[in-house]
Amino acid sequence: MITRRHLLGTAGAGAALAGSGLAFPKLDQAHAEIPNIDAGLPAGTRGEAVMERLPGKQPLIKLTYRPPNYEAPVDYFKTPITPNDKFFVRYHLADIPEKIDAKTWKLSVGGDGTNGTAQLTLADLKKLPAVEIVAVNQCSGNRRGLFLPHVAGVEWGNGAMGCARWKGARLKDILAKAGVKPEAVEIVIDGADGPVIDKTPDFVKSIPVAKAMEDTTIVAYEMNGAPLPHFNGFPARLVVPGWTGTYWMKHLISIRAVTKPFEGFWMKSAYRIPIGKFPGARFTSQESIGPNTPITEMMVNSLITTPSEGAKVKGGKTAVSGIAWDGGYGIKTVEVSADGGKTWQPAKLGKDLGKFAFRPWSASVPVGKGAQKITARATSVNGQGQTTELIQNPAGYHHNLYSSVGVTGA
Amino acid sequence: MRYGLICAITLGLFTSAFAAPGFADEKPVQLKKADGLDKVEGNCGSCHSLDYIQMNSPFPSPALWDAEITKMIKAFGAPIDDADAKTIGDYLKKNYGS
């Protein structure tokens, strides 16, 4: 049985959608090749990826059309706040609402772990105390395409991430409307998007109650001072600062407290990592239902945004800049090397927008003549550093090798 | 805001001309023309665009392509019969595998 609403017919579909003014991808004519696509990506990815424009977006790197998976080129990370129209787009399943009416949207709160139930409109949500937080939303599989050997999945380069100023209501204040029982272990979240066929597991996630109750875990209705773009979860999404994007449910419609670990496919079988290979918070209630553990906090990481890959530089002292981020401990240092890691120079850290934000940095390093590699490495306040060897895991999560660009010195 | 179920339509209707119904202006993805392409377009293309196949190539071993097809059937509920699954597997291994 097919549940997709998009079966409008073939020839008539475009006209019908155009006439209804729906927010569905009207692809831009500027279907363009990608300059400097990362040579580490699978050959098939490099062949099929193109710059495309989704409605309301600047051109992004299209990896897949349906469901839409579009990442930002490295150039878009030259500022520590990622503009809404340059923010990456990631969906698991292709039955995505064409448009959500903010006036009729409702968020339901309940589950066997609450005393009662509640239903909130967007206006109700905005009446709760508002919280603003700058936080990085990064896909668990960002840089999956750079794993060697390659692993199956969406073959992201560097751009399945962005950093925004989110404004919304605390999840704990929303849960208080229904009253969470002491025996609740997880909070289950679901969005309005879903699968094409009803046998495909809907994308539903859960977080530990303790994480849900943190002051920084919010249901955001604003992103960088504007409503969320449709493809970033309009009208409201969960924001779980420090944790990977898989928990940041878009188009949020349901919040349930549960007294047993949630066993949906996307928790039990997907987004899991081997126990003990990575630092970071453990999601222990989920460990009782599987042999491994759910991914949680982001690993410390960095990205060089200037110079760009393949750039010709003057040689001598060369300006290098970029961003660094981690799972919410804050960035302590960024160091840069232009001699293959023999010597490292400390970078100057830029404006601190909070411990969950991209931290800009800049340095000046001597670059020799000919082909050279410039490398950056970040260390977080809790002492975690980037890795020199890839930590292999089946689904290709948590890639945080030193960041580097190849340049030619004159 | 899910719309109603459209029960009368079966997967068999997803022919190659109908391989990209999700987004109105989704550009058609042309996979390599070879035996089995019609089964790939008809089955795989009903739930996701076919660029997923190009993107995940050419690195998969035959075993990885088999595992992906099994995942689509067992975990994601794709209604692909055994004969079609074999045809799809042969096509992917030959044209998008290593």
B7-51 pLDDT tens trace: 333 333 333 333 333 344 678 899 999 999 999 999 999 999 999
Looking at CA atoms only, how far is residue B23 from chain A in angstroms? 6
Beta strands in A5-68, from DSSP E residues, in sequence order = 50-52, 60-64
Sequence-ordered list of residues with C-beta below 8 angstroms from that of A407, at least 6 positions apart, any chain? A307, A310, A311, A312, A313, A318, A367, A371, A372, A373, A374
**pLDDT, position A31:** 59
In angstroms, how far is CA B84 from the centroid of its own chain? 10
Cβ–Cβ under 8 Å, residues A377 and A280: no
The total number of residues shown for chain A amounts to 410
Where b means 16+ CB within 10 Å and e means fewer, A107-130 reads: bbbbbebbeeebebebeebeebee
Cβ pair A4:B75 closer than 8 A: no
Question: Distance between the two ends of chain B, CA-based, in angstroms?
Answer: 42
The DSSP element (H or E) to which A120 belongs, if any, is strand A118-121
Domain's final residue, options A261, A294, A327: A294
Contact A24 B48 (CB under 8 A): no
* Beta-carbon separation of A26 and B25 below 8 A: yes
A66:B22 CB<8 A? yes
Long-range contacts, B5-10 (Cβ 8 Å, 24+) = B5/A1, B5/A2, B5/A3, B5/A198, B6/A2, B6/A3, B6/A4, B6/A5, B6/A7, B7/A1, B7/A2, B9/A2, B9/A7, B10/A2
A330 close contact with B: CB closer than 8 A: no
Taking the CA atoms of chain B, what radius of gyration do you get in angstroms? Answer: 14
Mean pLDDT of chain B: 81
Do A277 and A134 fall within a single domain? yes
In a shared domain, residues A111 and A255: yes
Range of the structural domain that residue A85 is part of? 31-90
d(CA A224, CA A135): 11
- Give the CA angle between residues A237, A242, A246 to the nearest 5°: 50
Question: CATH topology for B11-96?
Answer: Cytochrome Bc1 Complex; Chain D, domain 2 (1.10.760)
When divided into structural domains, chain A yields a total of 3
Q: Tell me whether A230 touches chain B (CB under 8 Å).
A: no
The last residue of one of the domains, among A294, A310, A338, is A294
Residue A236 near chain B (CB below 8 Å): no
d(CA B82, CA B77): 13
Ranges of beta strands (E only) in A139-259 are 161-170, 186-191, 204-208, 218-223, 226-227, 237-239, 252-258
A119 and A193 belong to one structural domain: yes
- Taking chain A (410 residues) in runs of 10, the rounded mean pLDDT of each run is 36 34 45 82 96 94 96 97 98 95 97 98 98 98 98 98 98 98 98 96 98 98 98 98 98 98 97 96 95 96 97 92 98 97 97 98 96 97 97 97 95
A111/A226 same-domain check: yes
Q: Residue A12 has which token pair?
A: 């008539």
CB contact under 8 A, B57 and A152: no
Same domain, A133 and A222: yes
Q: Is residue A394 part of a domain?
A: yes
CB of A71 closer than 8 Å to CB of A159: yes
Give the mean pLDDT of B68-87.
98
Q: In this structure, are A155 and A290 located in the same domain?
A: yes
Rounded Cα distance, A14 and A72, in Å: 27
Q: How far apart are CA A196 and CA B2, in angstroms?
A: 11
Are B26 and A66 within 8 A, CB to CB? yes
Q: Are strands A106-110 and A118-121 parallel, antiparallel or unpaired?
A: antiparallel
In a domain, A95, yes or no: no
Question: Which structure tokens are listed for A158?
Answer: 């560097």
Separation CA A368–CA A316 (nearest Å): 7
Residue A229 neighbours by CB under 8 Å, 6+ apart: A56, A57, A84, A85, A87, A223
Rounded Cα–Cα distance for residues A20 and A17 (Å)? 5
A132 shares its domain with A274 = yes
Which of A233, A263, A294 delimits the end of a domain?
Answer: A294
CB-hemisphere CA count at 13 Å for A102? 16
Determine, yes or no, domain membership for A18. Answer: no
The reply to whether A42 touches chain B by the CB within 8 Å rule is: yes
CA B91 to chain A, closest CA, distance in angstroms equals 16
A41 closest CA partner among B22, B54, B43, B29: B54
User: Are residues A279 and A312 part of one domain?
Assistant: no
Residue A31 to residue B52, Cβ atoms within 8 A = no
Contact map slice: A 193-222 vs B, CB within 8 A: 194-201
Considering the domain architecture, whether residues A138 and A244 belong to the same structural domain is answered as: yes
Q: Which residue of chain A has the CA closest to B57?
A: A44
Q: Does the distance separating the beta carbons of A42 and B24 come in below 8 Å?
A: no
d(CA A395, CA A248): 19
Picking from A57, A54, A73, the residue whose alpha carbon sits closest to that of residue A65 is A54
Contact assignment for A149 to B59 by CB distance below 8 Å: yes
Per-residue pLDDT, averaged over B79-87, amounts to 98
Query: A13 vs B77: CB contact, 8 Å cut-off?
Result: no
Residue A139 φ/ψ, nearest 5 degrees:
-60, 140
- Indicate the pTM of the whole model: 0.90
Where are the domains positioned within chain B? 11-96
Give the pairing of strands A226-227 and A370-380. unpaired
Question: Which residue in A194, A199, A269 is closest to B77 by CB distance?
Answer: A199
Does residue A170 form part of some domain? Answer: yes
Is the domain of A208 the same as that of A340?
no
Q: Nearest 5 degrees, angle CA A258-CA A91-CA A43? A: 135
My answer on whether A55 and A74 are in the same domain is yes
Same domain, A145 and A286: yes
Neighbours of A349 (CB within 10 A): 16
By Cβ distance, the residue of A24, A48, A201 closest to B23 is A24
Please check whether residue A312 is in contact with residue A408, taking contact to mean a CB–CB distance below 8 angstroms: yes
| A200 vs A218: CA distance, rounded Å | 28
